[in-house]
Amino acid sequence: MGSIYKEPQNRKQALLFPPSLDEYVDEDNPVRVIDAYVDMLDMVALGFTKANLHVEDGQPAYHPKLLLKIYIYGYLNKIRSSRRLEAEIRRNVEMMWLCAGLHPGYKTIANFRKENSAPLKKVFREFALLIKNLNLITGEVVAVDGAYFRANASKNQLLKKKTIEKDLNALDAKIDAYLAQMQFADADEKQEKSLKPPVTDLATMQTIKKRLDDDLAFLEANHLSQYNRTDPDARLMVKPAHNLMAFNVQITVDSTWKFVVATEVSSQGNDRNKLHTMALQTREIVANDAMVFVGDTGYYNAQEIARCVQDKVNVVVSVPKAKKSQKEKGFYLQSDFTYEAQEDCYLCPHQQKLTRSPSVVTRGNGTRYFAYRASSAVCKACPIRDNCIPKKTAYKSIMRSEYADTITRHKEKMQTPVAKRLIRQRGAIAEHPFGTTKQHLGWSHFLVRGLEKVGGENALIMFAYNFRRLLNLIGTRLFHKLVQAIPTGDIEAIRQEIAEYLADLADFMLYFAIIWLLGGERAILRRENVA
């Protein structure tokens, strides 16, 4: 009886018409879109290194377009390591097709990413503008968010001023105790040996002390609170569960189709000073003066909100909840004092005035604060004094920020139903890309070091996210037609085709949802009838 299994080809059998490499890559394969998109980019205008070489320049180099294609393919397929990319070029049919027989080494691949941070940022920006021209970014509602991405640095190489000072104090105490033990030890040699640590212990402690002193002097000379020897730009950032060496990645996301509009990398461990910068970057891309910019409480900063108001950016930022500890203890909060604009004074809960004093205090961020104080005689005789100020305090004083009026109007706006609805939607808008990049694609860390290089890799990550999202949204065929239309500048027809395609898709999804709901209702009715 013959075999019922399919017979494989003989690997050594010569073929009369061997298939070409192009036949192994389908027409709808995304790798063709990557190839076509990068081919139409002007690498010289974007500023890529070695983008304008000539014959007399020596040994032929790999074209930046080839290396950019390799990275885009790698980041779209969860491959970021330069060594793994080199391996894929020799064993992956799609990469073989993309590289057309060329085999750049891992060093060449890695250097391209390190040397082209600024051009990679431009590639991200140009692609965001392309999505905007397709009307897939409207700029009506844009949400901002930040997340920590692990740096390529170890916590073991971290110098932290507070920790060093604590270790020095503990070490000084040990050395003092050792010297005291040496001074008052019994003359008996046997007893002395049992009590006194070896002399080498003192030498070791003194060596450690010198190293700590040198580290502390370095931090103080450079006005630093922390420094990582592996990556000086990385910072120790605090999370509820743990601390990590990281960078703070900022993104703004359009609500229409969840595309990333703008991105930036910071060494700051919080988002307090990023609202205004990210808002202006975003508005430049979306070109929509009516843009509503939404942020969570991490972006609540009076100075930043005032700058946005001055630049006519409509910001919706959550107001942090007031601390209840003092209120629960029966003490009045500053919100219990009413500001009278006409008289420029505050009224306390007992209807006594707190007048403005000449002194002005400037805080670290440059914000000015004006002092308002009550009379000590009035406070002394006040019947509700014990609920207002401590017993040893002579009078009540309040510090009013120069942005207080702006914050008052902002808080009033945040009480409107529209603002509350936008705050509820913010998480679903802005946290979507971070969830995708970290959990699905595994991009929770950077492979390069230094803020500038990290910024380039972050731009590549966010570009890959947008590229994949557009590919999933409109499909390979429409994407390919778009790439072919870009060089001519005539994308109106493809823009209209994409709009019609998305409209049909929306109708289909609505129809599917209705069918699903009806099916669910019928199932419920069937269960009720059976019961």
What value does the mean pLDDT of the chain take?
86
Among 193, 253, 250, CA closest to 458: 250
Any alpha helices (H) in 222-324, and if so which ranges?
A: 275-286, 302-310
Which residues have C-beta within 8 Å of that of residue 466, sequence separation ≥ 6?
A: 124, 127, 128, 131, 259, 260
Per-residue pLDDT tens for 42-72?
A: 999 999 987 776 655 556 789 999 999 999 9
Q: Which of the two residues, 531 and 425, has the higher pLDDT score?
A: 425
Residues 168 and 216: beta-carbon distance below 8 Å: yes
| DSSP conformational letter for 386 | G
pLDDT score of 409 more than 60 = yes
Per-residue pLDDT tens for 209-225?
A: 899 889 999 999 998 88
Whole-number percent of the chain with pLDDT over 70: 87
500 occurs within a structural domain: yes
State whether 143 and 268 are in the same domain.
Answer: yes
State the average pLDDT over residues 19-43: 91
State whether 279 and 224 are in the same domain.
Answer: no
**119 class by beta-carbon count within 10 Å (0-12 exposed, 13-18 middle, 19+ buried):** buried
pLDDT score of 197 more than 60 = no
512 occurs within a structural domain: yes
9 occurs within a structural domain: no
The pLDDT score that the predictor gives to residue 300 is 94
Host domain of residue 73: 24-115
Among 279, 308, 291, CA closest to 406: 308
Q: Are strands 235-238 and 158-160 parallel, antiparallel or unpaired?
A: unpaired
pLDDT score of 523 more than 60 = no
State the average pLDDT over residues 293-317: 94
The pLDDT score that the predictor gives to residue 57 is 53
d(C-alpha 293, C-alpha 315), whole Å: 5
pLDDT score of 434 more than 80 = yes
Q: Are strands 226-228 and 368-373 parallel, antiparallel or unpaired?
A: unpaired
d(C-alpha 78, C-alpha 59), whole Å: 32
d(C-alpha 32, C-alpha 29), whole Å: 6
pLDDT score of 275 more than 60 = yes
d(C-alpha 326, C-alpha 333), whole Å: 7
The pLDDT score that the predictor gives to residue 444 is 86
The pLDDT score that the predictor gives to residue 187 is 47
Any alpha helices (H) in 54-99, and if so which ranges?
A: 64-76, 82-91, 93-99
Q: State pTM to two decimals.
A: 0.86
What's the half-sphere exposure (Cβ side, CA atoms, 13 Å) at 321?
Answer: 4
State the average pLDDT over residues 20-32: 89
Confidence of residue 114 (pLDDT cuts 50, 70, 90): very high
3 occurs within a structural domain: no
State whether 295 and 341 are in the same domain.
Answer: no
State whether 482 and 526 are in the same domain.
Answer: no
240 occurs within a structural domain: no
Among 434, 460, 435, CA closest to 447: 460
d(C-alpha 274, C-alpha 144), whole Å: 9
Q: Which of the two residues, 424 and 5, has the higher pLDDT score?
A: 424
The pLDDT score that the predictor gives to residue 207 is 87
The pLDDT score that the predictor gives to residue 500 is 87
Confidence of residue 516 (pLDDT cuts 50, 70, 90): low
Q: How many domains does the chain have?
A: 5
14 occurs within a structural domain: no
Confidence of residue 18 (pLDDT cuts 50, 70, 90): low
Per-residue pLDDT tens for 129-141?
A: 999 999 999 999 9
State whether 442 and 314 are in the same domain.
Answer: yes
d(C-alpha 447, C-alpha 434), whole Å: 17
Residue 252, helix vs strand vs coil: strand
190 occurs within a structural domain: yes
State whether 165 and 145 are in the same domain.
Answer: no
pLDDT score of 364 more than 90 = no
Structure tokens at 247: 């960078």
Per-residue pLDDT tens for 187-196?
A: 445 554 555 5
Structure tokens at 3: 């075999």
409 occurs within a structural domain: no
Confidence of residue 531 (pLDDT cuts 50, 70, 90): very low
Residues 67 and 515: beta-carbon distance below 8 Å: no
pLDDT score of 1 more than 80 = no
Question: Out of 28-32, 170-174, 279-283, 400-404, which region has the weakest mean confidence (pLDDT)?
Answer: 170-174
State whether 477 and 398 are in the same domain.
Answer: no
